[in-house]
C-alpha cells in the first residue's frame, strides 16, 4: 500500500509539473508545487527544511544536472510523501528515493522501451529526456527487472557525460542544450521572494549587507572573493534566517 501511495503522489506531482519539466526543474517546482529551491555550493547533495512557513529545498550547485535532478526529486519526496519524517530514518530515505525514481523514471515510460534491442543512442535519449544519469537508469531497470541487450548494457556502464557526448542524437538535443542544463544546475539561485525580503531586511537594519552579497555570489565589501571556498550547508540558517522569515 505504501508503494502505491508513493507512486500516486509521484504521478500527481509529475502531472502538475508538466511536460519536459526536467529542463527547468527548479522553476516548475516553485510554480507548480509551491516548494522554493535554493542552489548554492554545498559539501553534500542537498537538504530540505521549512523557513518562515515556506518549504525550501537546498540543492548543491554542480555541473552534473542529473545529480541535481535526483537530489531535488528526493527532497520533494520528504515533503510530499514523508511529512515530518526524520531524514535520519532509513525508511524515510528509502521512501524519498522511491519517490524520486517514480517521479523521474515512471514505470510506463521505462517499460515502453525495447531494452533488448536498445542502442546506445536510445539509452542516451532516454537518459536525457528523463533527466537522469546512466547509473540511476541502470538501477531502475534492475528494479523493474528489465533485460537490456549487450549494446544497452555497455551504454549504461558509461558515464552520463561520456554517453551523451558521443551518442545523443542531435535531433533530440544539441551540445548547446546540454550546456544549458549544465549552467542551470551550476548557477547560484535564490527565490525572488528571498532576495526581495533580504533587501528589505537590510534596509530596515535587520540583516547585514554581507548576507545579500553571499546570496548573489558576490564578495562582501572589503572582503576578498575566494572561488575555492565551500559553503557549509548550515550557513543558510545563520546568515539568511532574518531575511527568510
Per-residue pLDDT, 231: 43
DSSP per position, 124-175? HHHHHHHT--HHHHHHHHHHTT----HHHHHHHTS-HHHHHHHHS-TTT--H
Torsion from C-alpha of 149, 109, 72, 52, nearest 10 degrees: -170
- 79: cell is 515533503
- Contact by Cβ (8 Å): 197, 52: no
Q: Tell me, which fold does domain 2-105 have in CATH? A: Arc Repressor Mutant, subunit A (1.10.10)
pTM of the model: 0.86
d(CA 21, CA 25): 5
- E strands, the chain, where? 36-40, 46-51, 54-60
Distance CA 130, CA 168 (A): 13
**CA 154 to mean position of chain CA atoms:** 26
- Return per-residue pLDDT of the chain as tens, 245 residues: 568 899 999 999 999 999 999 999 999 999 999 999 999 988 889 999 888 788 999 999 999 999 999 999 999 999 999 754 455 688 889 999 999 999 999 999 999 999 999 999 999 999 999 999 999 999 999 999 999 999 999 999 999 999 999 999 999 999 999 999 999 999 999 988 888 888 888 898 887 888 788 888 887 665 444 544 444 444 554 344 444 44
Q: In angstroms, how far is CA 169 from the centroid of its own chain?
A: 24
Calpha distance 144→207 (Å, rounded): 51
Per-residue confidence (pLDDT) for residue 149, from 0 to 100: 98
Work out the burial of residue 41: count CB atoms within 10 Å of its CB; fewer than 13 is exposed, 13-18 middle, 19 or more buried: middle
Contact 74, 99 (CB under 8 A): yes
**Structural domain boundaries in the chain:** 2-105, 107-180, 192-244
User: Which pLDDT value is given to residue 63?
Assistant: 96
- Unique residue bearing C-alpha cell 527568510: 244
Strands 54-60 and 46-51: antiparallel
Distance between CA atoms of residues 172 and 7, nearest Å: 28
Amino acid at each position: 500500500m505504501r508503494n502505491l501511495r508513493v507512486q500516486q503522489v509521484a504521478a500527481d506531482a509529475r502531472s502538475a509539473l508538466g511536460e519536459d519539466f526536467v529542463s527547468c526543474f527548479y522553476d516548475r517546482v516553485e510554480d507548480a508545487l509551491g516548494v522554493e529551491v535554493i542552489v548554492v555550493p554545498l559539501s553534500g547533495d542537498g537538504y530540505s527544511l521549512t523557513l518562515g512557513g515556506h518549504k525550501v529545498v537546498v540543492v548543491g550547485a554542480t555541473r552534473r544536472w542529473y545529480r541535481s535532478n535526483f537530489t531535488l526529486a528526493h527532497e520533494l519526496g520528504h515533503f510530499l510523501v514523508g511529512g515530518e519524517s526524520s531524514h535520519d530514518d532509513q525508511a524515510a530515505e528509502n521512501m524519498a528515493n522511491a519517490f524520486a525514481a517514480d517521479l523521474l523514471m515512471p514505470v510506463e515510460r521505462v517499460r515502453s522501451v525495447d531494452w533488448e534491442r536498445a542502442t546506445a543512442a536510445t539509452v542516451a535519449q532516454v537518459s536525457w529526456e528523463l533527466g537522469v544519469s546512466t547509473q540511476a537508469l541502470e538501477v531502475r531497470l534492475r528494479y523493474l527487472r528489465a533485460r537490456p541487450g549487450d549494446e544497452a548494457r555497455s551504454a549504461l556502464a558509461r558515464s552520463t557525460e561520456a554517453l551523451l557526448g558521443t551518442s545523443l542524437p542531435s535531433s533530440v538535443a544539441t551540445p548547446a542544450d546540454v550546456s544549458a542544463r549544465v549552467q542551470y544546475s551550476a548557477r547560484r539561485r535564490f527565490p525572488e521572494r528571498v532576495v526581495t525580503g533580504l533587501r528589505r531586511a537590510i534596509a530596515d537594519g535587520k540583516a547585514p549587507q554581507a548576507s545579500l552579497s553571499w546570496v548573489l555570489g558576490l564578495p562582501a565589501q572589503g572582503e576578498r572573493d575566494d572561488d575555492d571556498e565551500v559553503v557549509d550547508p548550515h550557513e543558510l540558517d545563520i546568515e539568511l534566517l532574518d531575511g527568510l522569515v
